[in-house]
């Protein structure tokens, strides 16, 4: 019987996960199909319950469902609980296990592709959703010196950091944390002295309402900062273009996408992820879409 793995999110027109995950499954000649399924928030519960069927191995969870999915699984690993979000579900005998591979994917990409070590550094996160939670968790666990979260709704950023303070306390980590409203007149001041700037919002994402916009203008970006945009489609986002013009080092979201997907692949199949195959398929998929 053909097994299935699905991607649940809304919208999904920008996604290339099916391309590189199917390439990895085909590399091992596995009788498994990876399918993207758009599901609105009201449809998430029924979509997750469907995974209990024996023909499913699991799922990836993406925007805007990562936090909601945590409440729908039977068990969640330590990382998912610490982050407060699930991006991978593993099905075993009708039970649903929640995992978060975004943390490992973020750090692998930052260190291996970006050559940046976050320990002892000052970081600014833009956004306070599920992706931001994974990034914040990764930075706290890595010993970042300070973590600032900027969000349009500052209460959401405050709630995120309250969770991260518990993570830091449990791990004996000292990371200074502050939540700030994302107001244009304050941006230049907030960015001063930041070593790492991470866009955890969907701003600039292809097919999104804010596809053509950057969360930061060129003049506000420090030339000596490292700018990491988690958006991967398009490969060169408005933020990355602004950062490059400002002289900053940059990294797009493709590396994190593939690294987190590779870890999920290993959880579903028990096989080592063929990273080269996955990166090649991901880049082909972006090229075919003209980005």
Sorted by sequence, the CB contacts under 8 Å of residue 228 that are 6+ apart come out as 110, 114, 116, 196, 197, 198, 199, 250, 251
Q: Which of 66, 141, 166, 189 is catalytic?
A: 66
Q: Extract the tokens encoding 231.
A: 């958006």
Q: Extract the tokens encoding 217.
A: 């203008």
- Is the CB of residue 245 less than 8 Å from the CB of residue 218? yes
d(CA 116, CA 107): 9
Sorted by sequence, the CB contacts under 8 Å of residue 111 that are 6+ apart come out as 117
What distance lies between CA 17 and its chain's CA centroid?
13
Residues, the chain: 291
Q: Extract the tokens encoding 185.
A: 């007149």
Q: Extract the tokens encoding 100.
A: 């978060």
Among candidate residues 89, 60, 56, 58, the one with its CA nearest the CA of residue 72:
89
C-alpha R_g of the chain:
18
| Alpha helices (H) in 87-215, listed in sequence order | 102-108, 130-141, 154-171, 187-191
Among candidate residues 163, 171, 172, the one with its CA nearest the CA of residue 70:
163
Q: Is 166 among the residues known to form the active site?
A: no
With 0-12 / 13-18 / 19 or more C-beta atoms within 10 angstroms meaning exposed / middle / buried, residue 211 is: middle
Catalytically annotated residues: 66
């Amino acid at each position: 019987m053909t097994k299935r793995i699905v991607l649940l999110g809304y919208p999904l027109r920008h996604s290339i996960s099916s391309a590189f995950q199917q390439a990895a499954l085909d590399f091992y000649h596995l009788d498994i199909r990876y399918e993207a399924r758009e599901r609105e928030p009201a449809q998430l519960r029924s979509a997750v319950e469907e995974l209990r069927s024996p023909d499913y191995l699991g799922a990836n969870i993406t925007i805007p469902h990562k936090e909601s999915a945590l409440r729908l699984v039977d068990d969640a690993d330590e990382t998912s609980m610490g982050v407060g979000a699930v991006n991978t579900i593993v099905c075993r005998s009708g039970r649903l296990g929640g995992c978060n591979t975004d943390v490992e994917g973020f750090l692998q990409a930052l260190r291996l592709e970006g050559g940046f070590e976050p320990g002892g550094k000052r970081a600014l996160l833009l956004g306070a959703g599920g992706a931001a939670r994974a990034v914040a968790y990764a930075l706290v666990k890595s010993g970042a010196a300070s973590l600032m979260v900027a969000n349009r709704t500052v209460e959401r950023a405050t709630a995120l950091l309250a969770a991260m303070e518990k993570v830091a306390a449990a791990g004996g980590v000292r990371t200074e944390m502050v939540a700030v409203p994302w107001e244009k007149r304050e941006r230049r001041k907030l960015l001063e002295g930041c070593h790492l700037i991470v866009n955890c919002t969907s701003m600039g994402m292809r097919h999104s309402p804010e596809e053509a916009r950057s969360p930061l203008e060129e003049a506000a970006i420090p030339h000596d900062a490292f700018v990491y945009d988690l958006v991967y489609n398009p490969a060169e986002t408005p933020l990355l273009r602004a950062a490059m013009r400002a002289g900053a080092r940059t990294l797009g979201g493709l590396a994190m996408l593939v690294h987190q997907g590779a870890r999920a692949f290993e959880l579903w199949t028990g096989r080592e992820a063929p990273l080269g195959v996955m990166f090649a398929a991901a880049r082909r998929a972006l090229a075919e879409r003209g980005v």
